[in-house]
């Protein structure tokens, strides 16, 4: 697989988002199966793996640490801080105080079975802590050799600039896909100007852009999509038009909708590294194959034209969670 750069980090063009293996999307696979899937990703050329303290909580880091321990020198691991004790993921639990950041780093290093965290993101902006203090705490960890690079997640342009002035930001992780293009307005130009990489999460629309989710799809009781306004039956029915257009484009390219959605992201800029997640090996194979699909300027214009008249229905998050996006 080709590689790309996130600040000073060299990573595979597609990474693997590991959250769904133990958090947010219903019951995950058995641990041994999840470890096999992560190691299969390595065999396919994936070198960039994303986790967080709050996923599980705690269990996802432990899983990723065990899976990647035998190949640690070949991979880049990203994890996140920002919630206490950790979690649940809610505004009242935001905690990016410097002393907490440093404590999280120590605990994450142990769970990940490593001596250094390659990319350490602030999971969500904490309005109670100046971003300069957050960047300063991560800078201390970098100088101590415990972290290699600093990242932000779902931060606004002003926050990115203020953080970057204290400690260079290697990457921003935020949602970006064919059904969530808000970053194009202000975030992508800011990142391009500052030389910061971009890591789109939910690049497949939390599964919706694959075409595998319909109006009648039932989610597990603890699946986040049950509380997402964008996944109500009404919204799924309305948003099906988007998937149908993408499917038609994919058919013309002898590809799947998921592959077109990922190839589209890769074609936006050479410093964009999507991190699709999955619990299934055949879906992992399908996603990784997207890195071999090249979309030229004409293809991108055709996709924009095909989707231009479709308005996606439903907010991404319930109001309390949307309030944590830092915009």
Distances (CA, A) of 190 to 89, 162, 231, 307: 27, 12, 30, 25
pLDDT over 90 percentage in the chain = 91
Confidence band for 179, pLDDT divided at 50, 70 and 90: very high
What size, in residues, is the chain? Answer: 327
Q: Is the pLDDT of residue 241 over 60?
A: yes
Q: DSSP letter at 310?
A: P
The pLDDT assigned to 326 comes to 64
Which ranges in 58-217 belong to alpha helices (H)? 59-68, 98-111, 131-143, 157-166, 187-194
Confidence band for 318, pLDDT divided at 50, 70 and 90: confident
Beta bridge partners of residue 151, listed in sequence order: 121, 171
* pTM, two decimal places: 0.96
| Domain 3-205+268-293 sits in CATH 3.20.20.70 | no
46-55, 80-89, 91-100, 202-211: the lowest-pLDDT one: 80-89
Beta bridge partners of residue 10, listed in sequence order: 5
| Whether 55 is catalytic | yes
Q: Which H or E run includes 9?
A: strand 9-12
Q: DSSP letter at 94?
A: B
Helices (H) and strands (E) counted in the chain, each on its own, are: 11, 9
Q: DSSP letter at 8?
A: T
- Which segments within 137-287 are labelled E, that is strand? 147-153, 169-175, 197-201
d(CA 284, CA 295): 21
pLDDT in tens, 158-178: 999 999 999 999 999 999 999
d(CA 273, CA 282): 21
Q: Is the pLDDT of residue 325 over 80?
A: no
DSSP string covering 99-123, please?
HHHHHHHHHHHHHTT-S-EEEEEES
The pLDDT assigned to 89 comes to 85
Distances (CA, A) of 33 to 27, 49, 281, 313: 13, 17, 9, 35
Q: Is the pLDDT of residue 319 over 90?
A: no
Arithmetic mean of pLDDT over the chain: 95
Query: Which tokens belong to 88?
Result: 């649940």
Beta bridge partners of residue 175, listed in sequence order: 201
pLDDT in tens, 216-235: 899 999 898 999 999 999 99
d(CA 142, CA 324): 26
pLDDT in tens, 68-118: 999 999 999 999 999 998 878 889 999 999 999 999 999 999 999 999 999
Query: Which tokens belong to 30?
Result: 């058995």
Q: Is the pLDDT of residue 327 over 70?
A: no
Q: Is the pLDDT of residue 272 over 90?
A: yes
Number of C-beta neighbours around residue 204 at 10 A: 28
d(CA 184, CA 269): 11
Domain spans of the chain, in order of start: 3-205+268-293
The pLDDT assigned to 323 comes to 77
Query: Which tokens belong to 100?
Result: 């907490």
**124-143 burial: b if 16+ Cβ within 10 Å, else e:** bbbeebebeebbebbebbbe
Active-site residue (options: 25, 55, 121, 176)? 55
Confidence band for 198, pLDDT divided at 50, 70 and 90: very high
């Amino acid at each position: 697989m080709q590689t790309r750069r996130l600040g000073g980090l060299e990573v595979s063009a597609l990474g693997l988002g590991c959250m769904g293996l133990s958090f947010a999307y219903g019951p995950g696979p058995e641990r041994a199966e999840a470890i096999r899937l992560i190691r299969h990703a390595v065999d396919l050329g994936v070198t960039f793996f994303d986790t967080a303290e709050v996923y599980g909580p705690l269990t996802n880091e432990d899983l990723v640490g065990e899976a990647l321990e035998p190949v640690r020198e070949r991979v880049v691991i990203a994890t996140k801080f920002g919630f206490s004790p950790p979690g649940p993921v809610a505004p009242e639990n935001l905690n990016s105080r410097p002393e907490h950041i440093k404590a999280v780093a120590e605990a994450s290093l142990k769970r990940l079975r490593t001596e250094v965290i390659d990319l350490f993101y602030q999971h969500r902006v904490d309005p109670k802590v100046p971003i300069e203090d957050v960047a300063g705490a991560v800078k201390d960890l970098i100088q101590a050799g415990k972290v290699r690079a600093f990242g932000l997640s779902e931060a606004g342009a002003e926050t990115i600039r203020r953080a970057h002035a204290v400690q260079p930001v290697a990457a921003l992780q935020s949602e970006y896909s064919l059904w969530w293009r808000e970053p194009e307005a202000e975030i992508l130009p800011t990142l391009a100007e500052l030389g910061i990489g971009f890591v789109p999460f939910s690049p497949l629309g939390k599964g919706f852009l694959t075409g595998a989710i319909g109006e009648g799809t039932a989610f597990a009781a603890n699946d986040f999509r049950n509380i997402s306004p964008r996944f109500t039956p009404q919204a799924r029915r309305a948003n099906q038009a988007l998937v149908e257009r993408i499917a038609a484009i994919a058919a013309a390219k002898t590809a799947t909708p998921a592959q077109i959605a990922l190839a589209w992201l890769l074609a936006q800029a050479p410093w964009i590294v999507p991190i699709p997640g999955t619990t299934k090996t055949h879906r992992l194979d399908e996603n990784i194959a997207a890195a071999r699909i090249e979309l030229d300027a004409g293809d991108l214009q055709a996709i924009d034209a095909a989707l231009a008249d479709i308005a996606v229905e439903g907010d991404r998050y319930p109001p309390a969670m949307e309030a944590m996006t830092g915009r």
